[in-house]
Amino acid sequence: MSSSVFNKEAILARLEGDEELVKIVVEVFISDFPNQFQSLKDALKEGRLQDAVRYAHSIKGASSNVSAERLQALALKMEESLKNGDLTFTLQNLPLLEKEFQEFVKAVTSPV
Amino acid sequence: MKTLIVEDDFTSRVLLQEILCHYGPCHIAVNGKEAVEAVKVAIEAGEPYDLICLDIMMPGMDGHEALQKIREIEERHGFFSKRGAKIVMVTALHNIKNISLAYKNLCDAYIIKPLDKNKLLDELKKLRLIA
């Protein structure tokens, strides 16, 4: 199964077809992502590995809640590599994480 | 139903709040330490929480430690097992180690993110919190 940038069917199914609730959660996610992203970057820069794991985990959880599947998959890989003490993967893929987020914003704001 | 949502992620917090606020007052804590304080205050005021939704991975005190501390506070105040709050873990951690530890520490249910509204409400029905 290939993952999508924004799986609207999946989030609607999970929230009982409540479009209004989907809209609220997506907006909150979009407004909060830059903070989470910055926290992850800061933790990496300052070598706080445990915090970095937690932020990657948070980004994974938040993206899963809005069915941002590609973002979720990347955040999961970051969380797992960080848990193994590997900072390189996450550092190298920070620009991709930001790009996936921009793709998500585009996908939710473009008319269906 | 009086609810305490314990969650460090803003998106997850708003989602739970939007669903649960229809059933009564919803309070928020952003980490384990705040949650334990909120529970203590509520019990001492004679208005304990009916439901606590508890994330696991949080800064400072995590959900496992908060769960233990909350059950300790309840016990000190003479609320044993079934009379305490219903505690539902809501987390993206889905390995056996975390699940069994949470049940060992007396959670009532364990829900895995992404949050499914129906699954959550079904659990609350099973726990007789909502009709």
Which domains does chain B possess? Answer: 3-126 (3.40.50.2300)
Interface test with A, best of B9, B54, B89 (most A CBs within 10 A): B9
pLDDT at A8: 95
pLDDT at A22: 97
pLDDT at B83: 79
Q: Which residues of B touch A16 (CB under 8 A)?
A: 117-118
Interchain pair B113, A57: CB under 8 A: no
pLDDT by residue (tens digit) across A18-28?
999 999 999 99
Low-confidence ranges of chain A (pLDDT < 70): 1-2, 111-112
SS3 assignment for chain B? CCEEEECCCHHHHHHHHHHHHHHCCEEEECCHHHHHHHHHHHHHCCCCCCEEEECCCCCCCCHHHHHHHHHHHHHHCCCCHHHCCEEEEEECCCCHHHHHHHHHCCCCEEEECCCCHHHHHHHHHHCCCCC
Interface of B with A (CB under 8 A): 8-12, 14-15, 18-19, 57-59, 91-92, 113-118
The beta-carbon neighbor of A66 closest among B11, B57, B116 is B11
Interchain pair B118, A62: CB under 8 A: no
pLDDT at B101: 97
The beta-carbon neighbor of B117 closest among A16, A35, A58 is A16
The beta-carbon neighbor of A65 closest among B8, B57, B114 is B114
In this prediction, residue B111 has a pLDDT band, given cuts at 50, 70 and 90, of: very high
Interface test with A, best of B10, B11, B18, B62 (most A CBs within 10 A): B11
pLDDT by residue (tens digit) across B24-44?
999 999 999 999 999 999 999
pLDDT by residue (tens digit) across B8-27?
999 999 999 999 999 999 99
pLDDT at residue B81 above 80?
Answer: no
pTM metric for this prediction: 0.94
Structure tokens at A29: 């996610």
Structure tokens at A25: 């959660």
A51 part of contact set with chain B, CB < 8 Å: yes
Distance from CA of A11 to the nearest CA of B (A): 9
pLDDT at B79: 82
What's the mean pLDDT when you consider all of chain B? 95
Residue pairs between chains A and B whose CB atoms are closer than 8 Å: 61
Question: Is the complex ipTM more than 0.85?
Answer: yes
What percent of chain A shows pLDDT beyond 70?
Answer: 96
A61 part of contact set with chain B, CB < 8 Å: yes
Distance from CA of B75 to the nearest CA of A (A): 31
